[in-house]
A and B are shown apart, each in its own frame.
Chain A
Amino acid sequence: MAAFGMKLSSVMKILPSRLALLLAFALPTAAAAQRGDVYTEDRLNQLQQSITMMTGQIEQLQHRNAQLQQQLEKMQTDYEYRIEQLEKGGGGGGRPAPRPGAQAAAPAPSAAPSHGGGSADQLYDDAFKKLQEGDYAGAERGFKTFVQRNPQNKLAGNAQYWLGETYYARRDYQNAMTAFAEGYKAYKASPKGPDNLLKLGITMAALNRKSDACAIFARFSQDYPRATDLQKRRIDQERQKNGCG
């Protein structure tokens, strides 16, 4: 996503520079406009056509960008899920993950009953599956139930984060903001903490609360000095996008 974002912004930079070039051509002619308004009119027409053409190109690029972003977000969710499955298998039970599939892990006898056990895991996995399938309302219910029943579970921070994502995917930014804010308050130290804060800022920006968003992005490096490079880069991009000082 980062690579594409850069590409697009560089294209956006090229377009105005082409415009400047055109103006440079047009102006000397305008100076010679004594020869007749016709030439000025001509140049203006040409400029008009160039702007129109560029408007069309920008519209196309924005459209393609939005499409790619959607695709990438879907891929990212999928990817994060797989990693999470691996981490769960490798961390929690102290056993190597057999497969990045939830069902295989669920009936395992060593699943510790102390933190909710198989049923909590099952609930989480079901909700996640719904999220992947695009059943956001179903996923919302699942993650909500999970957090209510297992607020101390090691996956509670993740569930709170994904709950926010179910709203964000439906462009319900108000509820998304509430969910991410709750995530930041209650599960700041969760493995999803950095993603959660990043998303809180993005959601604020989507709600047109730019200065709040900038304040959140500014807090990121203090709260999560050991965030991944990818996350840090994303924060930089968002700061730039929203014109944060």
Chain B
Amino acid sequence: MRMIKALTAIAAMVLIAACSSNSDQQQAAAATTTVTPGSVADFRQNVGDRVFFDTDMSTVNDQGRQTLNRQAEWLKKYSNYQVTIEGHCDERGTREYNLALGERRANAARQYLIGQGIPAARLKTISYGKERPDPVGSDEAAWARNRRAVSALQ
């Protein structure tokens, strides 16, 4: 009896997983075709709203620069947007230190964008430390995605 229950649970999980990945793909497919240029969705999907950092580091790496270069170009084109850059950390640090580290990361991304010609007045920062993980998880892959600076448009 218990065995059957467990099996149905697994089956359900597989189904959900299948569904979500399906819809992801659909969304992605839709994105490239139907997203309005200059929209928040356009920024997220075609420019990339986040850059990633190495453990305990707050310097923007090469890949991050490419993303920020694209962000700068896009922001110059659509100058009606204000940006709040959110700094985040993985969970492998203490709470207060991570708040400070997240701030340092957000600031590094901000400085880079200013260097690319975005007016400082358009760029605010906020740190969430390790309080807002995305994705939620406790493995190397999740941690790498969590050491991030996300440019949120307003």
Direct contact between the two chains A and B in their complex (CB within 8 A): yes
Q: In the bound complex, how far is the Cα of B59 from the Cα of A103, in angstroms?
A: 68
Interchain CB contact under 8 A, B59 and A37? no
Q: In the bound complex, how far is the Cα of B111 from the Cα of A181, in angstroms?
A: 59
Contact residues, A36-65 vs B (CB, 8 A)? 36-38, 41, 45, 49
Q: In the bound complex, how far is the Cα of B70 from the Cα of A218, in angstroms?
A: 68
The segment from B21-29, B112-120, B128-136 that touches chain A is B112-120
Contact residues, B46-69 vs A (CB, 8 A)? 59, 65
Residues of A in contact, count (CB < 8 Å): 6
Interchain CB contact under 8 A, B59 and A38? no
A24 to chain B, nearest CB (A): 21
Q: Which chain B positions have C-beta within 8 A of A37? A: 114-115
CB-nearest residue of chain A relative to B69? A38
Q: Which chain A positions have C-beta within 8 A of B115? A: 36-38, 41
CB-nearest residue of chain B relative to A45? B59
Q: In the bound complex, how far is the Cα of B116 from the Cα of A201, in angstroms?
A: 59
Contact-residue size bin, chain B (C-beta under 8 Å from the other chain)? under 10
**Chain A binding site: helix, strand, loop or mixed by DSSP?**
helix
Q: Which chain B positions have C-beta within 8 A of A41? A: 111-112, 115
Q: In the bound complex, how far is the Cα of B68 from the Cα of A41, in angstroms?
A: 15
Q: Which chain A positions have C-beta within 8 A of B114? A: 37
Contact pattern, A 23-43, Cβ under 8 Å of B = 1, otherwise 0: 000000000000011100100
A28 to chain B, nearest CB (A): 19
Q: In the bound complex, how far is the Cα of B65 from the Cα of A36, in angstroms?
A: 13
Q: In the bound complex, how far is the Cα of B65 from the Cα of A37, in angstroms?
A: 13
Q: In the bound complex, how far is the Cα of B83 from the Cα of A49, in angstroms?
A: 28
Contact residues, A161-202 vs B (CB, 8 A)? none
Q: Which chain B positions have C-beta within 8 A of A36? A: 115-116
CB-nearest residue of chain B relative to A37? B115
CB-nearest residue of chain A relative to B108? A45
Contact residues, B64-92 vs A (CB, 8 A)? 65
9 tightest A-B contacts by CB? A37-B115, A38-B115, A45-B59, A36-B115, A41-B111, A41-B115, A38-B112, A41-B112, A38-B116
Q: Give 11 A-B pairs besides A37-B115, A41-B111 with Cβ atoms closer than 8 angstroms.
A: A36-B115, A36-B116, A37-B114, A38-B65, A38-B112, A38-B115, A38-B116, A41-B112, A41-B115, A45-B59, A49-B59
7 contacts between A and B (CB under 8 A): A36-B116, A37-B115, A38-B65, A38-B112, A38-B115, A41-B111, A49-B59
